[in-house]
Amino acid sequence: MTDKPKVAFYWCASCGGCEESVVDLAEAILEVVQLVDIVFWPVAIDTKKADVERMADGSIAVSLINGAVRTSEQEEMAQLLRRKSQLVVAYGSCAQMGGIPALANQYSRERILRTVYEEVPTVDNPNKVRPQPDYVDDAQICVHLPEFRQRVRSLDQVVDVDYTLPGCPPTPKLLAEALHAILDGNLPPKGTVLAPDTALCDACPRKDSKPEDVGYTEFKRPHWTILDPEKCFLAQGVVCMGPATRSGCDAQCIRGNMPCTGCFGPTSRVHDQGAKIVSSICSSIAAEDSDGIESTLSGIPDPVGTFYRYGLSKCLLRGRVDAVDAARSSQEGTR
């Protein structure tokens, strides 16, 4: 083995896009592998959990963990990598704030399992069999399956996280910058999100077309309307998360003529991205009476899904507060 710093990648509840973004380093990945040893990366190299268990505590320089945490296995892997690593980086929106998987926090675990194992039209499961966390087969061998948790969690709700790389997925540029900062020991204070701490509007190519007071009279959904490729989306009456979202993405969606959906999360001064965009958008509605306001707001049919698309785990309420299986005993029953 060499003395190069060791790096691990892991995925929890994720789509694979974050892994893809590492590969998107393209030629630069050759430079990275010159500088570091990748010791664990289930999607790309053949290493097992036992290999990590054998490593000395703190022997990995940095673990980049993507995906939300939904199962007990993901928790265990996060704990294991935490123990073996000097630095843990929450990589991507899901690890940072729950991401798309965290939208499931609007429903109880029981409702999700019932839908998936009993109610989906393509499911044929007359005995209503559900996965069993502990199963003893005919040969008396006990098989353990990870437990499906009550809630979808962000990585920092499960283990101590040193840094966060935001984005769905993070851009290769941010990843390269972060890796260089780590290798050079040139790191900001613990807890920092490794992206600029300004709102996306600040870096938006359409910034100049944003009026002082938009004066919304209606909200249009992007697929209902032909979008002007030059003009601020908010000025077009389309919800854009730019005012409540951190920059650093190079405004890729905006350049593709789609409004921001908020994947970089809030800036450091905002505690709740959804609440902040509610504040921002509502201040600029033209109507001053309840009926007019309601009629304008009817263009936003799903505020939770729109404003917390990537961040329901980190919403101050952490999801729908009554959507949890009633009691411990009923959970046992669903196993």
Partner 1 sequence: MSDREFEPRIVAFFCSWCTYTAADLAGVSRMKYASNIRIIRLMCSGRVDPQFIMDAFARGADGVLIGGCHPGDCHYISGNYKCLRRFHLLKRMLSDLGIEENRLRLEWISAAEGDKVKRVVNEMVQQVRALGPLDLPGRFGEWDKEVRELDARIQQEHDAGPCEAHAVKESQA
Question: Is residue 49 classed exposed, middle or buried when 0-12, 13-18 and 19+ CB atoms within 10 A define those classes?
Answer: middle
Q: In this complex, which beta carbon is closest to partner 1, that of residue 38 or of residue 324? A: 324
Q: In this complex, which beta carbon is closest to partner 1, that of residue 48 or of residue 144? A: 144
Selected range binding partner 1 among 13-21, 153-161, 163-171, 174-182, rule: CB under 8 A: 153-161
Among 122, 127, 186, 283, binds partner 1 (CB under 8 A): 283
Binding piece for partner 1, criterion CB under 8 A, among 7-15, 25-33, 231-239, 282-290: 282-290
**What mask, x for binding partner 1 by CB under 8 A, covers residues 96 to 115?**
----------x---------
Is residue 303 at the binding interface for partner 1, with CB under 8 A as the rule? yes
Q: What letters, b where the CB count within 10 A reaches 16 and e where it falls short, cover 70-98?
A: bbeebbebbebbbbbbebbbbbbbbbbbb
Q: For residue 151, report the phi and psi dihedrals to the nearest 5 degrees.
A: -130, 155
Under rule CB under 8 A, residue 145 binds partner 1: no
Q: Is 307 in the site for partner 1 (CB under 8 A)?
A: yes
User: CB–CB of 38/26 below 8 Å?
Assistant: no
- Single out the residue of 140, 143, 124 nearest to residue 132, CA to CA: 143
> Cis omega before residue 133 (within 30°)?
no
- Sole binder of partner 1 in the list 47, 86, 157, 334 (CB under 8 A): 157
172-183 and 28-35 are packed helices; what angle lies between their axes, rounded to 10 degrees? 20
Angle in degrees, CA 118, 120, 123, rounded to 5: 70
Q: Phi and psi dihedrals of 55, rounded to 5?
A: -70, 155
Tell me whether residue 124 or residue 322 sits nearer to partner 1 (CB atom). Answer: 322
The tokens for 81 are 């990598």
Of positions 70, 84, 276, 314, contacts partner 1 by CB under 8 A: 276
Residue (4 or 149) nearer to partner 1, CB: 149
Which backbone phi and psi does 61 adopt, to 5 degrees? -65, -50
Q: Does 139 bind partner 1 (CB under 8 A)?
A: no
Contacts of 282 (CB under 8 A, 6+ apart): none
| CA atoms of 285 and 106, how far apart (whole Å) | 27
> Does 302 sit near partner 1 (CB under 8 A)?
yes
Q: Which of 51, 271, 330, 333 binds partner 1 (CB under 8 A)?
A: 271
Q: Which two three-digit tokens encode residue 300?
A: 């936003």
Q: Which of 76, 119, 160, 218 binds partner 1 (CB under 8 A)?
A: 76
According to DSSP, the β-strands at 37-40 and 6-11 are parallel
Near partner 1 by CB under 8 A: residue from 23, 33, 35, 282? 282
Kindly state the smallest distance separating residue 318's Cβ from partner 1, in Å. Answer: 7
The size of the interface with partner 1 (CB under 8 A), counted in residues, is 51
Q: Does 321 sit near partner 1 (CB under 8 A)?
A: yes
Q: Cβ of residue 303: shortest distance to partner 1, in angstroms?
A: 4
304 binds partner 1 (CB under 8 A): yes
Give contact residues for partner 1 (rule: CB under 8 A): 53, 72, 75-76, 79, 83, 106, 134, 142, 144, 147, 149-151, 153, 157-158, 270-272, 274-276, 278-279, 281-283, 285, 287-290, 293-294, 297, 300, 302-304, 307, 315-324
